[in-house]
Amino acid sequence: MIGGAQGSGVDTSASIFGNAVARAGYYIYGNREYHSNIKGRHSYFNLTISDVKMHSLSDEVNILATFDAETVFQHFMEARDYIIYDKTLEGTKISTVQSMEPERAEKIEKLLTSNGYGTTIKDALNYASSKGVKLVPVDYGKIISEVATELKLPTSVVERARNLIASAVSLRLLGIKLDYLRAALRVFFRNELYVRMNERASEKSYDLVQSAYNLPEIPVNGHRVQLDGNTAVALGKIAGGLRVQTYYPITPAADESTFIEDNEVVDVLDPETKELKKAGVLVFQSEDELSAVNMAIGAALTGVRAATATSGPGFSLMAEGIGWAGMNEAPVVVTYYMRGAPSTGMPTRGQQGDLLFAVNVSHGEFPRIVIASGDHVEAFWDAIWALNLAERYQTPVIHLVDKFLANSYSIIDESELDYKGKKIIDRGKLMYKEFDDYKRFQFTDDGISPRVPLGYAIMHYTGDEHNEYGIITEEGENRIRMYEKRLKKLETADREIPEEQRLRVYGKDSDIAIVTWGSPKGPAIDAMDELASEGINVQVIQVKMFNPYPRNLIRKLLEGKKMIINLEANYTAQAAQLMKLNAGVEPTHYVLKWNGRPITRTEVKWAIKHILSNPNERRVVLNGGA
């Protein structure tokens, strides 16, 4: 774990650390947690390193790398092996760390004093040392001063290398070669002066300690990619032929749009998206979220693939536009990054509290296709799938990505994103053909009408009920037929999309099934593997599509199970509600978390064991995380 003040380079430090470790042949899963302020509050990055792919975090912290006082106070209880800290901060009292929330500070102070310690950094470190943790004191200021003198730079400039000192010492403890860190620095810094400055700080840091873990190098076959959730969705949209992306800045969605904006001119491999080679992707920041979704809908009517991205407050504003798209059968994709709610809630913390809202967004009855990604590779392919679903069924598609997935990253094999030679684009009944007598909303057996872009025929779009031409009418029989036509598209989707594509099954058949969705899939799978090594067999079922719901397959999979354990990050077990509504299956137990912190494999493993020992306790609430 790497931690420091918001704005002090925690994210950069962790990313460089991960890049260096990946070069040694290891897989990484990392997650960023940060306060909703620009600078100063506590921020930390938790990383798991393994020679096999991991999908989640652990509660155990082998190395705690800190570069401020608050990180020591916040996390010293979690450290198991080493704490790297600034030795000049040893006398800092917890009462002087004003950025700490009073409730948290009081809890830590009580822990220390009740065990006979004072309330300084030194006391917290002594407490950790009594538990077997080894302390690694580092004089950050001395290293910075020495580098500044050597390179003849102001100390204020070299101060920016403070975050790299903690990472460098961590890498040295792991036994990662300094050359891998040097290579990683050149990925993240283009300015040669910054590269040299950080190199010297890293070299001096390596000299302070000896390797403790001696991780051997692992040969890497093929290329690997360091990918976060926002970037995965952005890359998927670009690969899927996106032409217009609209957005209003909001956490944690904005990073997706800014990535597309930075990489809008792309080398296109799929011939069906060859027009992108010249045009790129138009990215537009609108004045608000309602404007963003309406602009995306307007772009879709011109025949291009269009999408928007937002989070809870923005999605609330988009509801009116999504309803208009439903009435007018417009193929628009909304990538919905869920965060802590309601209202402003916790903007930089995660939750899965918006599932029912997504499935029922806007007033009235119309098709809304809702899918949810569970990892970074899925996020890439689901972004393509969402664009295909929107155009094939001519309806809004909501792509759910929770904050934990958006702000985490993993090392994946590049081959997992390879779409060369695959037909990845399905534009449905879109035609580039002129019509003299065009019925945009023509009645068809499957509910899907032939679609042409604006300019190829006369057509009418309005929020009112209409006939086949789009002309407003309130005639009763037409209302019945047009209403049925729209909703028939959901029946068509239910018939055409294999249920095996709408959910995934992990592990061997078992009497115990964990049913989950979104990012909790990762800790569920990792916990499943760890439990199997202890002789406890569980199966994980991940629901990927919530509308239309894979009701028949989930009934079949869960039939006869002794325990059905629902796992999700909300209070009301929303996915379980949809399972009961659509499939008539109710969980026997619930494992829930809503404190804004990610579910870890440690927590899931503990929860399963706890339920097995206490089967009458139907609801288990998780509360881990600082």
Mean per-residue pLDDT for 300-325?
Answer: 98
Beta bridge partners of 540: 506, 514
Residue 367 has pLDDT above 90, yes or no: yes
Per-domain residue ranges for the chain? 2-206, 226-417, 429-497, 503-621
pLDDT in tens, 49-62: 999 999 999 999 99
Mean pLDDT, residues 544-570: 99
> How far apart (Å, rounded) are the C-alpha atoms in residues 93 and 509?
54
| String of DSSP letters for 332-401 | EEEEEEE-B-STT-BTTS---TTHHHHHT-SSS----EEEE--SHHHHHHHHHHHHHHHHHHTS-EEEEE
Decide if pLDDT at 273 tops 80: no
Please indicate whether the domains covering 2-206 and 226-417 agree at the CATH topology level: no
Token pair of 535 as six digits? 């002789």
Q: Which of these, 186, 4, 181, 183, lies nearest to 86 by C-alpha position?
A: 4
Encoding tokens for residue 341? 């709610």
Q: Can you tell me the mean pLDDT for 551-573?
A: 98
Output the pLDDT for position 421: 82
pLDDT for 128: 98
The per-residue pLDDT for 277 is 55
Distance CA 242, CA 234 (A): 9
Q: What percent of the chain has pLDDT over 70?
A: 98
Q: What's the pLDDT tens digit per position in 579-617? A: 999 999 999 999 999 999 999 999 999 999 999 999 999
Supply the Cα-derived Rg of the chain in whole angstroms.
26
Band (314; pLDDT cuts 50, 70, 90) = very high
Question: What is the tens place of the pLDDT at every residue in 154-167?
Answer: 999 999 999 999 99
Can you give the pLDDT at residue 39? Answer: 80
- Predicted pLDDT of residue 280: 80
For 358-380, what is the mean pLDDT?
Answer: 98
In this predicted structure, the answer to whether residue 221 has a pLDDT above a threshold of 90 is: no
Q: Which residue has the tokens 């509504």?
A: 581
Query: Which class is 226-417 in CATH?
Result: alpha beta
pLDDT of residue 276: 53
Q: What is the pLDDT of residue 162?
A: 92
**Res 279: pLDDT:** 60
Q: What is the pLDDT of residue 484?
A: 99
The pLDDT, as a whole number, for residue 422 is 86
As a whole number of angstroms, the distance between CA 329 and CA 461 comes to: 10
User: Taking a C-beta distance cutoff of 8 angstroms, is the pair 376, 410 a contact?
Assistant: yes
Query: How many whole angstroms from its chain centre is CA 95?
Result: 35
- At residue 271, the pLDDT reads 55
Average pLDDT, the chain: 95
Assess whether pLDDT exceeds 60 at residue 3.
Answer: yes
Does the structure show a pLDDT above 60 at 537? yes
Which CATH number does 503-621 carry?
Answer: 3.40.50.920
Summarised one tens digit per residue, pLDDT across range 384-427 is 999 999 999 999 999 999 999 999 999 999 999 998 888 899 99
Q: What is the pLDDT of residues 122-179, one digit of tens each?
A: 999 999 999 999 999 999 999 999 999 999 999 999 999 999 999 999 999 999 999 9
Please give the average per-residue pLDDT across 482-490, as a whole number.
99
Going by CATH, does the domain composed of 2-206 fall within 3.40.920.10?
yes
- pLDDT tens track for 500-534: 999 999 999 999 999 999 999 999 999 999 999 99
pLDDT at 272 over 70: no
